[in-house]
Amino acid sequence: MSATMPHEPFESGDLAGEYVLGVLDADERREVAARIARDFAFAREVAAWEARLAPLAAEIVPVPPPAYVWTRIRAELGHAPRATPEPLWQRLGFWRWLSAGALAVATASLVTLFVQRPAPTAPVAPPLVAIMALDNGAPAFVATIDRERGTMVVTPVTSWSDTAHVPELWLIPPGDRAHSLGVVATGKPMTVSIPPALLGTLGAQAIVAISVEPPGGSPTGQATGPIIAKGNISGI
Protein backbone atom coordinates (compact mmCIF):
# COMPACT_ATOMS: atom_id res chain seq x y z
CA MET A 1 0.00 0.00 0.00
CA SER A 2 2.63 2.55 1.01
CA ALA A 3 6.28 3.22 0.20
CA THR A 4 5.96 1.74 -3.27
CA MET A 5 6.80 5.03 -4.94
CA PRO A 6 9.22 7.77 -3.95
CA HIS A 7 7.68 11.20 -3.32
CA GLU A 8 4.22 9.84 -2.61
CA PRO A 9 2.26 12.81 -1.44
CA PHE A 10 0.33 12.39 1.77
CA GLU A 11 -1.35 15.77 2.10
CA SER A 12 -4.93 15.59 3.28
CA GLY A 13 -5.94 17.25 0.02
CA ASP A 14 -4.81 14.20 -1.81
CA LEU A 15 -6.64 11.73 0.36
CA ALA A 16 -9.81 13.79 -0.03
CA GLY A 17 -9.30 13.85 -3.79
CA GLU A 18 -8.70 10.11 -3.94
CA TYR A 19 -11.82 9.52 -1.88
CA VAL A 20 -13.99 11.71 -4.11
CA LEU A 21 -12.50 10.29 -7.29
CA GLY A 22 -13.44 6.83 -6.00
CA VAL A 23 -10.15 4.93 -6.12
CA LEU A 24 -9.87 3.92 -2.44
CA ASP A 25 -10.67 0.40 -1.25
CA ALA A 26 -13.35 -0.49 1.30
CA ASP A 27 -11.18 -0.10 4.41
CA GLU A 28 -9.71 3.20 3.27
CA ARG A 29 -13.20 4.51 2.45
CA ARG A 30 -14.42 3.63 5.94
CA GLU A 31 -11.47 5.45 7.51
CA VAL A 32 -12.06 8.51 5.37
CA ALA A 33 -15.80 8.52 6.10
CA ALA A 34 -15.03 8.45 9.84
CA ARG A 35 -12.57 11.29 9.43
CA ILE A 36 -15.12 13.39 7.52
CA ALA A 37 -17.46 13.04 10.47
CA ARG A 38 -14.95 14.28 13.06
CA ASP A 39 -12.57 16.58 11.12
CA PHE A 40 -14.33 19.67 9.84
CA ALA A 41 -11.35 20.98 7.85
CA PHE A 42 -11.01 17.63 6.11
CA ALA A 43 -14.74 17.56 5.38
CA ARG A 44 -14.33 20.95 3.69
CA GLU A 45 -11.50 19.55 1.61
CA VAL A 46 -13.73 16.67 0.49
CA ALA A 47 -16.48 19.15 -0.40
CA ALA A 48 -13.96 21.20 -2.40
CA TRP A 49 -12.97 18.11 -4.38
CA GLU A 50 -16.61 17.28 -4.96
CA ALA A 51 -17.12 20.76 -6.38
CA ARG A 52 -14.03 20.42 -8.58
CA LEU A 53 -15.08 17.11 -10.11
CA ALA A 54 -18.84 17.70 -10.14
CA PRO A 55 -18.95 19.13 -13.70
CA LEU A 56 -17.99 15.67 -14.97
CA ALA A 57 -21.35 14.41 -13.76
CA ALA A 58 -22.96 16.34 -16.64
CA GLU A 59 -21.77 13.50 -18.86
CA ILE A 60 -23.66 10.85 -16.94
CA VAL A 61 -26.62 9.70 -19.00
CA PRO A 62 -29.88 9.94 -17.02
CA VAL A 63 -31.65 6.59 -16.71
CA PRO A 64 -35.24 6.73 -15.46
CA PRO A 65 -35.57 4.21 -12.61
CA PRO A 66 -38.50 1.78 -12.55
CA ALA A 67 -41.58 3.15 -10.78
CA TYR A 68 -41.44 0.53 -8.02
CA VAL A 69 -38.28 2.11 -6.61
CA TRP A 70 -40.29 5.18 -5.60
CA THR A 71 -42.96 2.93 -4.11
CA ARG A 72 -40.29 1.12 -2.06
CA ILE A 73 -38.75 4.40 -0.88
CA ARG A 74 -42.11 5.65 0.38
CA ALA A 75 -42.82 2.31 2.02
CA GLU A 76 -39.45 2.33 3.78
CA LEU A 77 -40.01 5.87 5.06
CA GLY A 78 -43.56 5.09 6.15
CA HIS A 79 -45.05 7.72 3.88
CA ALA A 80 -48.64 7.56 2.70
CA PRO A 81 -49.10 5.92 -0.71
CA ARG A 82 -49.55 9.33 -2.22
CA ALA A 83 -47.36 12.18 -1.08
CA THR A 84 -49.39 15.02 -2.55
CA PRO A 85 -53.18 15.48 -2.59
CA GLU A 86 -54.78 15.30 -6.00
CA PRO A 87 -56.35 18.44 -7.37
CA LEU A 88 -59.95 18.87 -6.24
CA TRP A 89 -61.47 18.19 -9.63
CA GLN A 90 -59.64 14.90 -9.96
CA ARG A 91 -60.93 13.47 -6.71
CA LEU A 92 -63.69 10.91 -7.05
CA GLY A 93 -65.43 12.22 -3.93
CA PHE A 94 -65.77 15.63 -5.48
CA TRP A 95 -67.70 14.25 -8.42
CA ARG A 96 -69.92 12.11 -6.17
CA TRP A 97 -70.64 15.18 -4.13
CA LEU A 98 -71.54 17.06 -7.30
CA SER A 99 -73.89 14.40 -8.56
CA ALA A 100 -75.52 14.12 -5.18
CA GLY A 101 -77.43 17.33 -5.89
CA ALA A 102 -75.17 20.13 -4.82
CA LEU A 103 -74.75 21.26 -8.38
CA ALA A 104 -76.28 24.69 -7.93
CA VAL A 105 -74.06 25.50 -4.98
CA ALA A 106 -71.00 24.48 -6.90
CA THR A 107 -71.77 26.28 -10.13
CA ALA A 108 -70.39 29.66 -9.12
CA SER A 109 -67.04 28.31 -7.98
CA LEU A 110 -66.81 25.92 -10.90
CA VAL A 111 -67.15 28.75 -13.40
CA THR A 112 -63.91 30.30 -12.21
CA LEU A 113 -62.28 26.91 -11.82
CA PHE A 114 -63.12 25.83 -15.33
CA VAL A 115 -62.09 29.10 -16.88
CA GLN A 116 -58.60 28.44 -15.63
CA ARG A 117 -58.55 24.79 -16.56
CA PRO A 118 -61.24 22.84 -18.37
CA ALA A 119 -62.46 19.87 -16.37
CA PRO A 120 -61.48 16.61 -17.98
CA THR A 121 -64.43 14.60 -19.17
CA ALA A 122 -62.22 11.57 -19.70
CA PRO A 123 -59.43 10.36 -17.39
CA VAL A 124 -56.57 12.84 -17.43
CA ALA A 125 -53.90 11.83 -19.93
CA PRO A 126 -50.59 11.54 -18.09
CA PRO A 127 -48.03 14.08 -19.21
CA LEU A 128 -45.35 13.06 -21.67
CA VAL A 129 -41.72 13.99 -21.28
CA ALA A 130 -38.65 14.02 -23.46
CA ILE A 131 -35.08 14.60 -22.39
CA MET A 132 -33.20 16.10 -25.30
CA ALA A 133 -29.61 14.95 -24.81
CA LEU A 134 -26.36 15.88 -26.47
CA ASP A 135 -24.37 13.26 -28.34
CA ASN A 136 -22.47 12.49 -25.13
CA GLY A 137 -25.73 11.80 -23.30
CA ALA A 138 -25.76 14.98 -21.23
CA PRO A 139 -29.24 16.52 -21.11
CA ALA A 140 -29.57 19.91 -22.81
CA PHE A 141 -33.32 20.57 -22.86
CA VAL A 142 -36.24 18.85 -21.17
CA ALA A 143 -39.73 18.94 -22.70
CA THR A 144 -42.96 18.25 -20.81
CA ILE A 145 -46.05 17.80 -22.94
CA ASP A 146 -49.61 18.50 -21.84
CA ARG A 147 -51.71 16.72 -24.45
CA GLU A 148 -54.98 18.22 -23.26
CA ARG A 149 -53.81 21.78 -23.60
CA GLY A 150 -51.69 21.02 -26.64
CA THR A 151 -48.66 22.65 -25.10
CA MET A 152 -45.05 21.73 -24.50
CA VAL A 153 -42.91 23.34 -21.81
CA VAL A 154 -39.29 23.36 -22.90
CA THR A 155 -36.71 23.89 -20.15
CA PRO A 156 -33.02 24.43 -20.88
CA VAL A 157 -30.86 22.48 -18.45
CA THR A 158 -27.51 23.74 -19.57
CA SER A 159 -26.32 27.17 -20.62
CA TRP A 160 -26.27 28.30 -24.23
CA SER A 161 -23.04 30.13 -25.03
CA ASP A 162 -23.45 30.61 -28.78
CA THR A 163 -24.78 34.18 -28.96
CA ALA A 164 -24.73 34.23 -32.77
CA HIS A 165 -27.28 31.41 -33.02
CA VAL A 166 -30.54 30.31 -31.41
CA PRO A 167 -32.00 26.89 -30.56
CA GLU A 168 -34.99 25.84 -32.64
CA LEU A 169 -37.33 23.09 -31.51
CA TRP A 170 -38.48 20.35 -33.87
CA LEU A 171 -41.10 17.63 -33.53
CA ILE A 172 -40.51 14.56 -35.67
CA PRO A 173 -43.47 12.14 -35.77
CA PRO A 174 -42.60 8.55 -36.75
CA GLY A 175 -42.02 8.29 -40.48
CA ASP A 176 -42.55 11.99 -40.99
CA ARG A 177 -40.39 15.06 -41.58
CA ALA A 178 -39.37 17.47 -38.83
CA HIS A 179 -41.97 20.12 -37.97
CA SER A 180 -40.72 23.35 -36.43
CA LEU A 181 -42.25 24.36 -33.11
CA GLY A 182 -40.29 27.61 -33.17
CA VAL A 183 -37.26 29.11 -31.48
CA VAL A 184 -37.03 28.36 -27.78
CA ALA A 185 -35.64 30.39 -24.91
CA THR A 186 -32.13 29.63 -23.67
CA GLY A 187 -32.28 31.02 -20.15
CA LYS A 188 -35.70 30.02 -18.88
CA PRO A 189 -38.54 27.55 -19.50
CA MET A 190 -40.84 28.40 -22.38
CA THR A 191 -44.28 27.15 -23.31
CA VAL A 192 -44.86 26.38 -26.98
CA SER A 193 -48.09 25.39 -28.68
CA ILE A 194 -48.32 22.12 -30.53
CA PRO A 195 -50.34 22.39 -33.77
CA PRO A 196 -53.54 20.33 -33.36
CA ALA A 197 -52.66 18.28 -36.45
CA LEU A 198 -49.50 17.07 -34.73
CA LEU A 199 -51.05 16.34 -31.34
CA GLY A 200 -52.19 12.89 -32.40
CA THR A 201 -48.68 11.92 -33.47
CA LEU A 202 -47.24 12.29 -29.97
CA GLY A 203 -46.19 8.96 -28.63
CA ALA A 204 -43.22 6.80 -27.86
CA GLN A 205 -42.03 6.85 -31.45
CA ALA A 206 -42.01 10.62 -31.82
CA ILE A 207 -38.78 12.57 -31.38
CA VAL A 208 -38.12 16.14 -30.31
CA ALA A 209 -34.88 17.79 -31.29
CA ILE A 210 -33.00 21.08 -31.09
CA SER A 211 -31.09 22.52 -34.02
CA VAL A 212 -28.71 25.48 -34.13
CA GLU A 213 -30.23 28.24 -36.29
CA PRO A 214 -29.65 31.90 -37.17
CA PRO A 215 -31.48 34.49 -35.03
CA GLY A 216 -35.21 34.28 -35.69
CA GLY A 217 -35.02 30.62 -36.56
CA SER A 218 -34.61 28.59 -39.72
CA PRO A 219 -35.53 30.66 -42.78
CA THR A 220 -36.44 27.56 -44.80
CA GLY A 221 -38.75 25.58 -42.54
CA GLN A 222 -36.14 22.84 -42.44
CA ALA A 223 -33.27 22.63 -39.98
CA THR A 224 -30.34 24.54 -41.52
CA GLY A 225 -27.87 24.01 -38.66
CA PRO A 226 -26.75 20.85 -36.87
CA ILE A 227 -29.11 18.92 -34.60
CA ILE A 228 -27.30 19.17 -31.28
CA ALA A 229 -29.78 17.51 -28.96
CA LYS A 230 -32.63 15.06 -29.36
CA GLY A 231 -34.78 12.71 -27.34
CA ASN A 232 -37.69 10.30 -27.54
CA ILE A 233 -41.05 11.23 -26.10
CA SER A 234 -42.11 8.93 -23.30
CA GLY A 235 -44.64 8.70 -20.51
CA ILE A 236 -43.64 9.55 -16.94
**Residue nearer to other proteins on the CB measure, 62 or 195:** 62
How far is residue 163 from each of residues 166, 188, 211, measured CA to CA in Å?
7, 15, 14
Rounded Cα distance between 230 and 210, Å, is 6
Going by C-beta distance under 8 Å and a sequence separation of 6 or more, which residues neighbour residue 196? 150
**Residue nearer to other proteins on the CB measure, 113 or 134:** 134
Among 120, 174, 182, 226, indicate the residue that binds other proteins (CB under 8 A): 226
**Residue nearer to other proteins on the CB measure, 154 or 194:** 154
| Binding string, residues 37-66; x marks residues near other proteins by CB under 8 A | -------x--x--xxxxxxxxxxxxxxxxx
Contact 82, 50 (CB under 8 A): no
Judged by DSSP in three states, 179 sits in strand
Contact 16, 46 (CB under 8 A): yes
| Binding segment toward other proteins, per CB under 8 A, in 14-22, 103-111, 120-128, 200-208 | 14-22
Rounded Cα distance between 138 and 129, Å, is 16
How many residues touch other proteins (CB under 8 A)? 70
**Residue nearer to other proteins on the CB measure, 70 or 114:** 70
Rounded Cα distance between 67 and 33, Å, is 31
Among 128, 130, 131, 172, indicate the residue that binds other proteins (CB under 8 A): 131
Contact 228, 124 (CB under 8 A): no
79 sits near other proteins (criterion: CB under 8 A): yes
Q: What single-letter amino acid sits at 17?
A: G
Rounded Cα distance between 69 and 160, Å, is 34
Q: How far is the CB of 69 from other proteins (least distance, A)?
A: 5
**In degrees rounded to 5, what are phi and psi of residue 200?**
-70, -15
**Residue nearer to other proteins on the CB measure, 139 or 173:** 139
| Binding string, residues 90-129; x marks residues near other proteins by CB under 8 A | ----------------------------------------
221 sits near other proteins (criterion: CB under 8 A): no
Contact residues for other proteins, defined by CB under 8 A = 4-5, 8-9, 13-14, 17-18, 20-26, 29, 44, 47, 50-66, 69-70, 72-73, 76-77, 79-80, 83-84, 131, 134-140, 155-162, 165, 187-189, 212, 226, 228-229, 236
